Chain A
Amino acid sequence: MAAETSAVPAQRHEHPSATLASRAARYLAALFIIVSLNFLLPRLMPGDPLMNLVGEEGYYAAGGALDELRSELGLDEPLPVQYGRYLRGLLSGDWGYSYLYLRPVRDAIALHLRWTLALVLPSIIIAALLAAVLGGLAAWRRGSRTDIGLSAGNLLVYAMPHYWLAMLLLFVFSFRLGWFPLGRATSGGATDLPYLLDVGWHMLLPLVVITAFKATYDFLIVRNSVVSILGEDYVLMAQAKGLSAASVLFRHVLRNALAPLVTVTAIQFGMVLSGALLVEVVFSWPGMGTLIYDAIGARDYPLLQAAFLIIAVCVLLANFIADVLYPLLDPRTR
């Protein structure tokens, strides 16, 4: 998922006067639209809305009882009534039944979501740290061989489709060299510490791919952010005051450059989550990516809708958290 960012740090804060409340209102509006989209899609898309609502297997499992199923789901009721039903169902936790997993959609999602978060959250942190160090270094020595080397290398990794990289890693390190397992999250049978270690061993390769994926973005953000800050007058002043290079870098520049990094991380949460989906499929990691992939194959529409909703909500939350954190970190608002 390349570039929906620009080289210039995020433009989201062009309304510094926008209050947290108005931002929250924006997110609620976004939530409302996403929920409505979720409602409308199965009813507007081609195909029988009944099949769109229960999935292919559910449709065939019903056999001759399609009409009963239709009225049970309220499909012959007027649209506003259906919408009300839908909202009530959503809030009460009834998200439909998945014929693929033979359990309520909510349970299937809960099972898979935590595995995705376990993979994505550490990689975001590690990527940010890695990028902060490397990006800062590259910016500090801009134009030098270090900078060109780091930037070019970064760009190359950034450009390659990450699921393709994932497949290569799986093949080289797991199959040929045998250093890592061939997929899944665990080999089974362990508890407590051995279990955690086992999961960690299975997690390493996918974590590396997703971290690399995120780090290459962050590198660009950090580098450009630091470069632009280096042009600021107060840095020049600090240098004129006789502060050491390291001191200038860490105490002034990096701390100020980190704020856009945090917010960009939050904005990109959706992108990272989406990217993780493909990597999960390659490594058979039992997260949302595998769930979506299986649901696509089985045309389990209720599962796909719920997955989309959950991911969208996670992204909204991440953005909101970023909005809360940004004022704490932005040097200009202190």
Chain B
Amino acid sequence: MRTIRQLFAALVTAALLAGTAGCAAEPEPSQTPATPTTPTAAPGDSTPAAKPVVLRVGSTKPFKTTNTFSDYWYGVLSNMTTHDTLIKLGSDMKPAPWLATDWTVSEDSRTFTFTIADNATWHDGTPLTAENVRFSIEYYRDCDPEAGWMKDVIESVTVDGNDVILSLTRPYGNLLIEFMTYPVVPESVWSDVEDPLTYEGPDMVIGSGPFVFESWDPAAGRFVFTANEDYFQGKPNIDRLEVNIYRTMDALVMALSRGEIDTWWDYSGEFPYTHVPPLLKGGDIEFATATYLGVPAAIGFNLDRAATSELVFRQAVASAINYRQISELVFSGYGSTPTAGFVPPTHPDFNDGLPQLVQDKDKAAQLLDSLGWKDTNGDGIREGADRKNIVLTLLTRGDVPSTLRSTEMVAADLKAVGIGCSLKSVDNATWVAAKDAMDYDLVFFRATPWGTLMHASHGSGYFDSRRTGSGVLHNLAAAEYLETCDARLATADLAEQERLDRELQRMHAEYLPGIALTWIESVYPYREGWDGWTIDHIYGGVVNSFSWFTVTRN
């Protein structure tokens, strides 16, 4: 009797076990499109069966679906692969033609005319027309919450032959930059879809781009794209593109050094320098370098607080920081000391007349003394105008190790000249809330490549007090600055833009709303044997739309 009961208990457990294992063992459904697959090679193709060129890219970004509207990361990836934009930013930092082979801007910067290529097609073979482009722009304007600015700025979109004409409500010099991020989407798929953010139809992956979506396997974390043989710019040099997702940088680097992938991709982030040595060891990984367009570590001032509202105090802070140590220790020597203009030389119209920041403790002490803020009681901290110790609240992200490291160093540098610091290290959400509430004296932030191009460009997007956004400081309200930003936005004249760009950078140095802590040389690892990469400063290094047509494999 006993044994039967025990046997029964054992059987029940075994059954439960088998059941769960069985449930987990169902392969997860991976997405494949319902549309016709890539057309086979054209009949006239005479090359013998050459080995297909396969590029395997690794990424740590959190991709979740294949909806370019709702999934931020897939949106970025699809921009380079399955979809086309009207123009792109070339490596020379000037707009390059893409789907729009040419464009003109009216004198008053209120009318933009794009000429659309006449040989572009969608992945299902139907031609891409100027009408399709008009549909896309209006679709973004009406249905995409992220494109809300279009409602304010774009008055009408009309089509004339191959041209798409945008009439604006007001001069908007930045329109070209904006259109680098909105890919053209097929009317046949989206015209019936009222809410693109929740759409899950398999045809949402259809575009006109150099690659056709083949599959997405969430369990294995892999996207597969195949070359679009009929692409209007010609077939890309790569026959098959795989994007493998890794959860940690360690896993990605392990895969790269073991030959499981060929290169790494991240939009707007930099490759962690701490992970370079293991790649150098194997000897078969090479690195492309480019000066990062953004600012990976910077501080911003709260211009309304007692101490930080004083320009002389901010200048003292700028002289107290050991920039070299930050470049050496946090960025493994790949950093260089910036100027007070904020943005690095990669930007067009870089103002090279501005002095480089330099640590000069004597000068810092002198400046602080000139304010009358001395340490009278010998405790090592100076007293401010209110006769109390100056203790600044430093707001920083605790969940990004490199940011925290920089913060600790700056705090130590400030203490060395008699400025006390209290560190407030929080997670992202709390950081955004505290920053927007101006609940700090100094805030540590980073400026992304795209972020530095926003608004009136050259970093003005971060400081203009009228701006909003989760990464934006909006701390400078000087009338002169705001007027310059407006003037820059209102003009499309290149000479005038240059003059205003230089002005903006000069004002950054003059007002010091923020200080860049370092500029860096970004590194982009790739397996040897690959050659001819084109650098794209926005989309991240070597993996971008231009490379598809320039890269070769030995």
A and B: direct contact (Cβ < 8 Å)?
yes
Q: Which residues of A contact B (CB under 8 A)?
A: 47, 51, 56, 60-61, 63, 100-103, 111, 114-115, 117-118, 121-122, 125, 174-175, 178, 182-191, 195-196, 199, 255, 284, 286, 290, 294, 297-299, 325, 328-329, 334
Q: Is the CB of A195 within 8 A of B25?
A: yes
Q: Is the CB of B17 within 8 A of A122?
A: yes
Return chain A residues, CB-CB under 8 Å to B495.
none
Q: Is the CB of B220 within 8 A of A186?
A: yes
Q: Is the CB of A114 within 8 A of B217?
A: no
Q: Is the CB of B70 within 8 A of A102?
A: yes
Select the stretch in B135-143, B246-254, B342-350 that faces chain A.
Answer: B246-254
Return chain B residues, CB-CB under 8 Å to A185.
219
Q: Which of B5, B20, B251 contacts A114 (CB 8 A)?
A: B20
Q: Is the CB of B217 within 8 A of A328?
A: no
Nearest-CB distance from A102 to chain B (Å)?
5
Known: A125-B13, A294-B62. A186 touches B219 (CB 8 A): yes
Q: Is the CB of B17 within 8 A of A184?
A: no
Chain A contact residues, majority secondary structure: helix
Return chain A residues, CB-CB under 8 Å to B40.
none
Return chain B residues, CB-CB under 8 Å to A290.
247
| CB-nearest residue of chain A to B257 | A175
Q: How far is the CA of A60 from the CA of B433 in the complex (A)?
A: 11
Q: Is the CB of B64 within 8 A of A188?
A: no
Q: How far is the CA of A111 from the CA of B24 in the complex (A)?
A: 9
Q: How far is the CA of A101 from the CA of B64 in the complex (A)?
A: 6
Q: Is the CB of A122 within 8 A of B220?
A: no
- Give chain B interface residues in 1-44, CB to chain A under 8 Å: 2, 5-6, 9, 13, 16-17, 20-21, 23-25, 27-28, 30
Q: Is the CB of B16 within 8 A of A299?
A: no
Return chain A residues, CB-CB under 8 Å to B427.
299
Q: How far is the CA of A100 from the CA of B70 in the complex (A)?
A: 11
Q: Is the CB of A325 within 8 A of B9?
A: yes
The 10 A-B pairs at the shortest CB distance, nearest first, are namely A188-B220, A118-B24, A114-B24, A284-B247, A56-B429, A188-B217, A117-B20, A102-B64, A299-B429, A114-B23
Known: A183-B251, A188-B217, A188-B219. A328 touches B5 (CB 8 A): yes
Q: Is the CB of B27 within 8 A of A121?
A: no
Q: Is the CB of B23 within 8 A of A329?
A: no
Return chain A residues, CB-CB under 8 Å to B21.
118, 121-122
Q: Is the CB of A334 within 8 A of B2?
A: yes
Nearest-CB distance from A104 to chain B (Å)?
11
Q: Does B466 contact A (CB under 8 A)?
A: no
Q: How far is the CA of A175 from the CA of B250 in the complex (A)?
A: 10
Q: How far is the CA of A103 from the CA of B200 in the complex (A)?
A: 10
Q: Is the CB of A188 within 8 A of B222?
A: yes
Q: How far is the CA of A195 from the CA of B258 in the complex (A)?
A: 23
Known: A122-B21, A187-B220. A100 touches B27 (CB 8 A): no
Q: Is the CB of A56 within 8 A of B428?
A: yes
Q: How far is the CA of A188 from the CA of B65 in the complex (A)?
A: 17
- Give the most central of B16, B21, B67, B70: most A CB within 10 Å: B21
| CB-nearest residue of chain A to B23 | A114
Q: How far is the CA of A199 from the CA of B23 in the complex (A)?
A: 13
Return chain B residues, CB-CB under 8 Å to A196.
25
Q: Does B365 contact A (CB under 8 A)?
A: no
- Give chain B interface residues in 49-71, CB to chain A under 8 Å: 62, 64-65, 67, 70-71
Q: Is the CB of B25 within 8 A of A51?
A: no
Nearest-CB distance from B226 to chain A (Å)?
15
Q: Is the CB of A121 within 8 A of B20?
A: yes
Q: Is the CB of A183 within 8 A of B25?
A: no
Given contacts A114-B23, A187-B220, 12 further A-B contacts (CB under 8 A): A47-B429, A56-B428, A61-B145, A100-B64, A117-B20, A117-B23, A122-B21, A184-B219, A188-B222, A284-B251, A290-B247, A329-B6
Q: How far is the CA of A61 from the CA of B144 in the complex (A)?
A: 11
8 contacts between A and B (CB under 8 A): A47-B429, A60-B470, A100-B64, A103-B64, A121-B20, A183-B247, A188-B222, A284-B251
Known: A182-B254, A184-B221, A188-B219. A299 touches B428 (CB 8 A): yes
Q: Is the CB of A182 within 8 A of B251?
A: yes
Q: Does B159 contact A (CB under 8 A)?
A: no
| CB-nearest residue of chain A to B20 | A117
Q: How far is the CA of A255 from the CA of B67 in the complex (A)?
A: 57
Q: How far is the CA of A61 from the CA of B195 in the complex (A)?
A: 14
| CB-nearest residue of chain B to A120 | B20
- Binary contact readout B395-409 vs A (1 if CB under 8 angstroms, 0 otherwise): 000010000000000
Q: Does B276 contact A (CB under 8 A)?
A: no
Q: Is the CB of A178 within 8 A of B258?
A: yes
Return chain B residues, CB-CB under 8 Å to A56.
428-429
Q: Is the CB of B27 within 8 A of A195?
A: yes
Q: Which of A47, A175, A199 contacts B25 (CB 8 A)?
A: A199
Q: Does B255 contact A (CB under 8 A)?
A: yes
Q: Which of B16, B399, B428 contacts A121 (CB 8 A)?
A: B16
